[in-house]
Structure 1
């Protein structure tokens, strides 16, 4: 029967993946929720209409927050899993890349919602998350391949 040995420092990878990343997701929800009323977007509507955005800058800001949150939700599960898998072989690298991903996602949220760059282009302030995410995928794949061969 195969066994999994948990390396020294794996707890840090767990803390980033299952502790910090969910908190960042909660932050996204708080930002979206705080902008909904001023944007005039009632439940169950997910986004403000183009007409609402033209007449109310808060509606555009709400849409940016909502899109940032959606993008976070699209990427968080695979990133969390990659940190946990990569951390079994490379806990320090997985933790470091996970931390870079978290900081980049916060910059992404802030840039998307709170900068005055047109069309949400402030989100590029946090685009480093793609490199951290790719690094985590690579570490995961390399670690698994190393075990198989």
Structure 2
């Protein structure tokens, strides 16, 4: 039988992984939905065409929001898992890095959607989220590896 003991301050880890990250997902979805209406992109189409973007600036902005949201969804679940696993061994560090990831992803979203930079180049202002995500992955692997080696 395997027993997992969580540190006393694990609640903050849960708050980031299962609170802040999903809330940011809802924010992404809300922004994307509101811009879909303004861009006049009907369901089930995921993106505005090049022609629609030339005719309506909101269509290009919708495409940026849709791509930012998709990129978030591509990375959120693993980041939540990395935060939860890393937090078992390093709760303060996992909380801090997870929080940094949320802040950087927020900047990524803002830059991508609202900066007005062509071709979504505003997303680069939050692109450092990759470093936070990599750090969480490394902490997870390192923490679990240390535990496995100690058996």
Shorter-chain TM-score range: over 0.9
TM-score normalised by the chain length of structure 1: 0.98
Moved over 4 A (4+): none
Q: C-alpha displacement at 1:3, in angstroms?
A: 1.3
CA distance in 1, matches of 2:4, 2:100: 26
Q: C-alpha displacement at 1:115, in angstroms?
A: 0.6
Q: C-alpha displacement at 1:40, in angstroms?
A: 1.0
| Structural RMSD (CA) | 0.6
Counterpart position of 2:54? 54
CA distance in 2, matches of 1:141, 1:38: 44
Question: What does the per-residue CA deviation read over 1:39-77, in whole Å, with 9 as the maximum and x for residues that have no partner?
Answer: 010111110011101111100000000000000000000
Q: C-alpha displacement at 1:24, in angstroms?
A: 0.2
TM-score normalised by the chain length of structure 2: 0.97
Counterpart position of 1:80? 80
Unaligned runs of 5+ in 1: none
SS in 2 for 1:79: helix
Counterpart position of 2:94? 94
Unaligned runs of 5+ in 2: none
Question: What does the per-residue CA deviation read over 1:12-54, in whole Å, with 9 as the maximum and x for residues that have no partner?
Answer: 0000000111000000000001111110101111100111011
Counterpart position of 2:111? 111
CA distance in 2, matches of 1:17, 1:74: 15
